[in-house]
Amino acid sequence: MQITYNLKPALERRSEQFNPTTNVGFGNLRTDHMFLMDYRDGEWCDPRIVPYGPFEVAPGAIALHYGQSVFEGAKAFQHDDGEIYTFRIDKNAERLNRSADILCIPALPEQMQIDAINALIDVDRLWFPMQEGACLYIRPFIFATEDRLSVSPSEQYTFCVMLSPSGPYYSDGFDKAIRLLISERFHRAVSGGTGASKAAGNYAASLKAGKAAAEYGAAQVLYLDANNKQIEEVGAMNHFHVLKDGSIIIPKFTDTILKSITSQSILDLGELLGCEVRQETVMLDQFISDIESGKIIEAGGFGTAAVVSPVGSYIFEDNRVITVGDGNVGEHTKRIYKVLTDIQKGLLQGPEGWVQHVKRVHV
Ligand SMILES: *Cc1c(COP(=O)(O)O)cnc(C)c1O
């Protein structure tokens, strides 16, 4: 892939303004450039890195009306050698294509996605924050650009990658467990729908549920299946719980659950975590009674942004509250978080190929 570079404004300008040692928060900042590539006449073309900024989109673009748009979220880390490494980026590239397929968006070869991400990180590497626990959050996405109001798959698309220099998700340490609302009113996905894709529209559809959760003092909704029997996931995170013997249980991936790369990594690590990790169908009634009997001692969510989100309690729509253990962050949750983040930061050797060096080409 022959990438065209338009590296203005000059790199120096931004590096003067950008102080990488302050707390930058999560997802607030952008780097100076973005990667773009278009799909037209049946092929992906014109790969380019240009200054970050607004693009021209036709008012009739299909993505704006019919939501034909998918995205990814990944992270890159700076190791002690000063170099930047992506984490399981091949899995994100593979999943973007899986999501794209569900929304009738043409696939973009995985290696092209990875080359695009590496090239962009390379030119914007000076924007890596120096804060402890920092990362470059990577956001690749594809959206339909054809200007047409009839409903059928677009024949034109844009693939874009942008980067957000981010601090750790937990700014004041990993110490607070969240509450989830178990809702029988809101559902994220049904079998045969778009639940297994990272579709923009799935997130639009979750906003109302998020507002309801806030009214209950909960961070997010824990979604059940359409029959309100099984535990599915948390909307931007998969769900997990830990049994008294230390085993970690993740609900089985179905077509109503987005296959989290964080969950997959925990499953792949298994032994390295020193406990059994397995997938099961998790029935709500059993789950609640196992928390009450003390068989389930910890619970939480898995996702790239926070890595692990400990859950201290659940609340039902009738205000009934179920507390997991003593409601605080448990030892197993802390260990899972540490093992995974140590691998990401290069402090612990993970399985072959999980971290990939971003080669120095331009900067
Ligand atoms: C992105 C996402 C997750 C988390 O997946 P990761 O690959 O771990 O970041 C979980 N559920 C949904 C619905 C998502 O969109």
**60 CA to centre of ligand 1 in angstroms:** 29
**99 CA to centre of ligand 1 in angstroms:** 12
Instruction: Check pocket membership of 304 for ligand 1, CB cut-off 6 A.
Output: yes
pTM for this prediction: 0.96
Best probe residue, ligand 1, of 72, 194, 238, 266 (max atoms within 8 Å of C-beta): 238
**DSSP strands (E only) in the chain:** 4-5, 33-40, 43-51, 69-71, 74-78, 84-87, 135-144, 157-166, 178-182, 220-222, 238-243, 248-251, 277-280, 296-303, 307-316, 321-323, 355-357
173: confidence class by pLDDT, cuts 50, 70, 90 = low
**91 CA to centre of ligand 1 in angstroms:** 12
Q: Where in the chain is the domain with CATH 3.20.10.10?
A: 178-344
Instruction: Check pocket membership of 310 for ligand 1, CB cut-off 6 A.
Output: no
Instruction: Check pocket membership of 262 for ligand 1, CB cut-off 6 A.
Output: yes
Best probe residue, ligand 1, of 72, 102, 198 (max atoms within 8 Å of C-beta): 198
Q: How far apart are CA 224 and CA 182, in angstroms?
A: 8
**149 CA to centre of ligand 1 in angstroms:** 31
Q: Tokens 């091949």 map to which residue? A: 90
25: confidence class by pLDDT, cuts 50, 70, 90 = confident
pLDDT of 131: 85
CATH topology of domain 4-168: D-amino Acid Aminotransferase; Chain A, domain 1 (3.30.470)
More confident position, 56 or 16: 56
Report the chain's mean pLDDT, rounded to a whole number. 94
pLDDT of 290: 98
Q: What is the DSSP string of 127-177?
A: G---STT-EEEEEEEEEE--B--SSS--S-EEEEEEEEEE--SSTT-S---
pLDDT of 348: 96
Does residue 72 surpass a pLDDT of 90?
yes
Rounded-to-5 percentages of helix, strand, coil across the chain: 25, 30, 45
Q: How far apart are CA 321 and CA 314, in angstroms?
A: 6
Does residue 14 surpass a pLDDT of 80?
no
Q: How far apart are CA 96 and CA 124, in angstroms?
A: 23
Q: Where in the chain is the domain with CATH 3.30.470.10?
A: 4-168
Instruction: Check pocket membership of 73 for ligand 1, CB cut-off 6 A.
Output: yes
Q: What is the CATH number of domain 178-344?
A: 3.20.10.10
**2 CA to centre of ligand 1 in angstroms:** 31
Please give the average per-residue pLDDT across 331-350, as a whole number.
Answer: 95
